[in-house]
Amino acid sequence: MDSLPPFQRFLDAHRDDVLRFLVAAVGRHDADDAFQETFLSALRAYERLRPDSNLRAWVLTIAHRKALDVHRARGRRPLPVAELHEEAPVAGAGPPRGRATDGDHWDRVRALPQRQRAVLTLRYAADLTHGEIAATLNCSEEAARRAASDGLKTLRLELTDVPASA
Amino acid sequence: MSLHPPDLIPGHAAALAARTSARAADEGVAEIAYARLDGPLGRLVAISTPRGLVRLAYELENGGLDAVLEHVAVRLTPCIVEAPGRLDGVRRELDEYFDGRRREFELALDWGLVGAGFARRVLQAAIAIPFGDTSTYRDVAGAAGSPNAYRAAGNALGSNPIPIVVPCHRVLASTGGLGGYTGGLDRKRLLLEIEGAGAGGQLRLAGDAVD
């Protein structure tokens, strides 16, 4: 494409992906505000963007920065009650649970160190490649893979779709 | 077990996107806002800048919403959002016009999609034709400063970016025929009927019927 799509088309094309990522990265409570901040920031920078940019990775990079802002702000105030889960899920060898428990997993991902949290949300909630994640986090692809693997180890989740080359 | 993307509440992302677009327009982050309007002539796309209405398109006749928006994105800026609230004034005046309660539009216009020369003078000459009246391509070309450039005047009117409000439908062929129209001749006829300027079929002009 030799020109940027009208912003509304871009917003409509990526709104679901961005919201899914933010719900995973900051929780439903803060996702709505972060969503609006993400797209308003994107709009402010939109005209200067190269038309051949990877728009999806670009907007998820902005969403990732907004998620960092939320986590930083949270470090300065108590967690909202809704974010606390009643029973801390036990990591490890239980039988597979249904998707209803996914919220618990993302709660636990959010409690991980910053880079592990970022890599896991970008990989599994936003479906970015490790290469795209490395660009987003400004680190090497190897570092991104390592952070993912460390995060997963911490969670002691056996993911069925870990890339074989990870 | 795996990490699945979280489920979304149906419609929630769309509602958030709409809120974001409205905010972008209200806070001036997006220069250009559009709305889709339904009326007796079918679906219209109305597009405004901070200066005024810059485009009013018959959606289907212009290749659909995306084509209309892409044209504006290339010509002006891609920072375009759907913000119906910003087009309330346009919607209201058009509704009044179609209901027969308005003869003149008071909307601010943005000529950003029209070249600064002859084409703009032609469209301004069209605006000067009163409701209920008609003119000819030749006369409009003359009013724009080049009486012989009636073909160029026809082209300028044919690519009028703000039809209805800039009443290019009031310009007819000197031979008495309808001429052309960006929204198709049926719509031109309908607009002239709304204005009481012609009975639809073979339109004849009082003083100008036959060359």
Residue A162 lies in a domain: no
- In chain A, what residues touch B71 (CB-CB under 8 Å)? none
- Whether chain A has a CB inside 8 Å of the CB on B35: the answer is no
Residue A106 lies in a domain: yes
Half-sphere exposure of A138 (CA within 13 A, CB side): 4
CA atoms of A141 and A134, how far apart (whole Å): 5
Q: Quick check: B93 and B107 in contact, CB under 8 A?
A: yes
Nearest CA in chain B to A37: B20
- What pLDDT, on a 0 to 100 scale, did the predictor assign at position A80? 53
- What pLDDT, on a 0 to 100 scale, did the predictor assign at position A76? 75
Domain count, chain A: 1
End-to-end CA distance of chain B, in Å?
Answer: 83
pLDDT class of A75 with cuts at 50, 70, 90: confident
| Averaged pLDDT score across all residues of chain A | 84
CA atoms of B182 and B189, how far apart (whole Å): 12
Q: How far is B91 from chain A (nearest CA, A)?
A: 20
Nearest CA in chain A to B81: A8
Residue A166 lies in a domain: no
Give residue for tokens 């670009």: A58
Interface A–B counts its CB contacts (< 8 A) at 114
Residue A11 lies in a domain: yes
- The answer to whether the CB atoms of A102 and B4 lie below 8 A apart is yes
CATH of the domain at A128: 1.20.140.160
Q: Where in the sequence is the domain holding A110, given as residue range(s)?
A: 7-155
Q: Which of B192, B190, B171, B176 is nearest to B126 (CA)?
A: B171
- What pLDDT, on a 0 to 100 scale, did the predictor assign at position B139? 96
- What pLDDT, on a 0 to 100 scale, did the predictor assign at position B175? 86
What ipTM was estimated for this complex?
Answer: 0.89
Question: Which one of B14, B23, B78 has the shortest CB-CB distance to A4?
Answer: B78
Q: φ and ψ at B139, to 5 degrees? A: -65, -40
Q: How far is A56 from chain B (nearest CA, A)?
A: 16
- What pLDDT, on a 0 to 100 scale, did the predictor assign at position B104? 96
Catalytic residue among B168, B173, B194, B197: B168
pLDDT class of A96 with cuts at 50, 70, 90: very low
Nearest CA in chain A to B5: A125
Residue A125 lies in a domain: yes
Q: What's the pLDDT tens digit per position in A9-63?
A: 999 999 999 999 999 999 999 999 999 999 999 999 999 999 999 999 999 999 9
Question: Which one of A8, A9, A97 has the shortest CB-CB distance to B1?
Answer: A97
- In chain A, what residues touch B17 (CB-CB under 8 Å)? 11-12, 15, 39
Give residue for tokens 């974001």: B20
Q: How far is A139 from chain B (nearest CA, A)?
A: 23
CA atoms of B114 and B200, how far apart (whole Å): 30
- No. of helices (H) and no. of strands (E), chain A: 7, 0
Asked about B79 being catalytic, the answer comes back as no
Query: Which pairs with CB-CB distance under 8 Å and at least 24 residues apart come from B105-110?
Result: B105/B165, B107/B52, B107/B53, B107/B165, B108/B51, B108/B52, B108/B53, B109/B51, B109/B52, B109/B53, B109/B54, B109/B162, B109/B165, B109/B166, B110/B48, B110/B49, B110/B51, B110/B52, B110/B53, B110/B54
Q: Which residue did the predictor score with more confidence, B206 or A66?
A: A66
CA atoms of B190 and B205, how far apart (whole Å): 17
- Angstrom CA distances, A10 to A18, A68, B30, B133, B134, stand at 12, 23, 13, 44, 43
Find which of A43, A59, A104 to mutate to test the B interface (most B CBs within 10 Å of its CB).
A43
The set of residues, in sequence order, having a beta carbon less than 8 Å from that of A89 and lying 6+ positions away, is A101, A104, A105, A107, A108
Domains of chain B with CATH codes: 14-98 (3.30.160), 118-194 (1.10.10.10)
CA atoms of B157 and A18, how far apart (whole Å): 43
- Whether chain A has a CB inside 8 Å of the CB on B108: the answer is no
Angle at which helices A7-26 and B12-26 cross, to 10°: 120
CA atoms of B108 and B102, how far apart (whole Å): 16
Q: What's the pLDDT tens digit per position in B127-159?
A: 999 999 999 999 999 999 999 999 999 999 999
- The answer to whether the CB atoms of B21 and A11 lie below 8 A apart is yes
Residue A84 has pLDDT above 60, yes or no: no
Q: How far is A163 from chain B (nearest CA, A)?
A: 12
CA atoms of B44 and A111, how far apart (whole Å): 50
Residue A37 lies in a domain: yes
Weakly modelled stretches of chain B, pLDDT under 70: 1, 198-211
- What pLDDT, on a 0 to 100 scale, did the predictor assign at position A104? 65
- What pLDDT, on a 0 to 100 scale, did the predictor assign at position A77? 67
CA atoms of B55 and B168, how far apart (whole Å): 14
Residue A161 lies in a domain: no
DSSP B48: E
SS3 content of chain A, % helix, strand, coil (to 5): 65, 0, 35
- Whether chain A has a CB inside 8 Å of the CB on B80: the answer is yes
Percent above pLDDT 90 for chain A: 71
- What pLDDT, on a 0 to 100 scale, did the predictor assign at position A99? 45
- In chain B, what residues touch A23 (CB-CB under 8 Å)? 6, 8
Quick one: tokens of A56?
Answer: 């999806």
Q: B45 pairs with which residues across the strands?
A: B36, B57
- The answer to whether the CB atoms of A9 and B66 lie below 8 A apart is yes
Residue A1 has pLDDT above 80, yes or no: no
